[in-house]
């Protein structure tokens, strides 16, 4: 069956919204007078709840216990939920979110091929419309056939109802659509509605659900089983395939389906280079620092305190800037006088592509790696680019197999 429609989940697919939603949750909790903070791991567990209200209810109950009356508890959840929409819109307006790579291209390619695009969400519809206008600009109305979502966060519409409404508005057979979802729960819901689904993995995903296999996908995107790969042209849906591949965070698993991410992480770099950390102390002289950089053949060193905790980082650029500012007196200065104290760090589970983006935007070449507050390594822009090239080569290989392999 030829592909006639693509249904995209706004919260998690158009943009990876987990960090935004966690920030909103922490903001409204603290605005309500509590000091709790939702960690990344804790928020990952909350994602099984589709609606924001249900996530808040679960999180507050975990932290508050059962000391409040049910009426007081529900009033607190009402206040937090109402406030959350305002906070989310403010963060979006401050460019807190970028569209997931490939999302615009996918919508544009689909439109060119006559494939309809629907947006679904468990968030209130006004928020979804605001999100889409911000990420896609004025072109969102031209690219998107419909948006289906609850009118308010109190709405009774379930995610299943939202999917059914999307198919109804597209006026096509559910089996001729493909849903790009952000969670295993969402993908299963789409399948209940009769829609094949792909999970686009985010930071919290560990799903082992097989949604459909590689061999099934060419038929879904309009590639006929009987034709040679060399005969595939953009008019046959390959543009949609390429954009789908870019939008997918994780380079499809040829052994089981499209659920598993091969996106390389910082931990992959550390496996190759090791976790040994070359460091100096804030009390070391700049001359001793320069000698250590030369002997270790490195462009930056982390600065650690007596307890082994990260205190800063100092690079060749810091030394050059110090020389320009202080002249000959630089040799009498200490590392602590020049080091960068507000250190940007990454975690072992962070995607390499994300680290590369941060390094490029912030214009630095070294990033310490921390886990549970402990310094476990340092990655350089060279490390990141090497592994990013390996990652892109893997993408190319998988895309080739995706198009030409049949078992």
For residue 249, the model assigns a pLDDT of: 31
**DSSP of 22-50, one letter per residue?**
HHHHHHHHHHTT------HHHHHHHTTS-
**Does residue 301 register a pLDDT over 90?**
yes
DSSP classification of residue 150 = -
Q: How far apart are CA 274 and CA 288, in angstroms?
A: 25
Q: How far apart are CA 301 and CA 335, in angstroms?
A: 10
For residue 393, the model assigns a pLDDT of: 58
**Does residue 340 register a pLDDT over 70?**
yes
For residue 20, the model assigns a pLDDT of: 86
Least Cα distance to 352 among 326, 390, 317 occurs for 390
Domains of the chain: 5-15+98-262 (3.40.50.1000), 18-88 (no CATH), 266-386 (3.10.580.10)
What is the SS3 assignment for 291?
Answer: helix
Q: What is the CA radius of gyration of the chain?
A: 25
Cα dist from 274 to 43, 45, 266, 271, whole Å? 30, 31, 11, 6
- pLDDT 10s digits, 211-269: 333 333 334 333 333 333 222 233 333 444 444 444 333 323 322 233 333 456 888 88
- More confident position, 97 or 404: 97
User: At 380, phi and psi to the nearest 5?
Assistant: -110, 165
Q: What is the mean pLDDT of the chain?
A: 76
Q: How many CB atoms lie within 10 A of CB 33?
A: 7
- pLDDT 10s digits, 136-155: 887 778 889 999 998 876 65
- More confident position, 336 or 92: 336
- More confident position, 207 or 198: 198
Q: Which of 95-104, 232-241, 389-398 has the highest mean pLDDT?
A: 95-104
What does pTM read for this prediction? 0.51
Residues 6+ apart with CB under 8 A from 368: 277, 302, 310, 313, 343, 345, 346, 375, 377, 378
Q: How far apart are CA 299 and CA 297, in angstroms?
A: 7
């Amino acid at each position: 069956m030829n592909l006639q429609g693509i249904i995209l989940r706004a919260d998690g697919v158009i943009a990876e919204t987990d960090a935004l939603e966690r920030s909103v949750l922490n903001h409204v909790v603290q605005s309500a007078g509590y000091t709790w903070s939702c960690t990344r791991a804790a928020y990952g567990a909350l994602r099984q709840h589709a609606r924001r209200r249900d996530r808040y209810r679960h999180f507050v109950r975990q932290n508050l216990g059962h000391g409040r009356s049910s009426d007081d508890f529900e009033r607190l959840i009402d206040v937090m939920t109402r406030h959350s929409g305002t906070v989310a819109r403010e963060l979006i307006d401050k460019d807190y979110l970028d569209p997931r790579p490939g999302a615009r291209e996918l919508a544009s390619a689909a439109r060119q091929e006559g494939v309809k695009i629907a947006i679904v969400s468990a968030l209130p519809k006004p928020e979804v419309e605001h999100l889409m206008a911000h990420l896609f600009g004025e072109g969102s109305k031209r690219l998107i056939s419909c948006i289906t979502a609850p009118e308010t966060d109190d709405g009774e519409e379930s995610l299943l109802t939202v999917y059914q409404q999307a198919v109804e508005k597209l006026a096509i057979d559910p089996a001729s659509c493909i849903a790009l979802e952000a969670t295993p729960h969402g993908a299963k819901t789409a399948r209940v509605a009769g829609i094949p689904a792909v999970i686009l993995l985010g930071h919290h995903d560990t799903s082992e659900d097989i949604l459909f296999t590689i061999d099934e996908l060419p038929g879904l995107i309009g590639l006929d089983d009987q034709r040679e790969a060399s005969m595939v042209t953009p008019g046959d849906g390959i543009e949609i395939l390429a954009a789908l591949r870019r939008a997918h965070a994780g380079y499809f698993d040829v052994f089981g389906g499209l659920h598993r991410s091969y996106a390389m992480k910082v931990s992959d770099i550390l496996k190759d280079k090791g976790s040994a950390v070359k460091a100096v102390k804030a009390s070391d002289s700049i001359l001793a620092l320069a000698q250590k950089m030369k002997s270790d053949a490195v462009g930056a060193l982390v600065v650690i305190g007596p307890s082994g905790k990260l205190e800063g980082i100092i690079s060749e650029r810091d030394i050059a800037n110090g020389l320009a500012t202080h002249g000959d007196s630089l040799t009498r200065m200490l590392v602590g006088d020049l080091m960068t104290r507000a250190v940007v760090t990454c975690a072992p589970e962070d995607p390499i592509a994300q680290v590369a983006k941060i390094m490029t935007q912030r214009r630095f070449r070294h990033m310490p790696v921390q886990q549970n507050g402990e310094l476990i390594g340092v990655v350089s822009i060279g490390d990141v680019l090497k592994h990013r090239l390996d990652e892109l080569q893997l993408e190319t290989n998988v895309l080739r197999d995706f198009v030409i392999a049949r078992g």
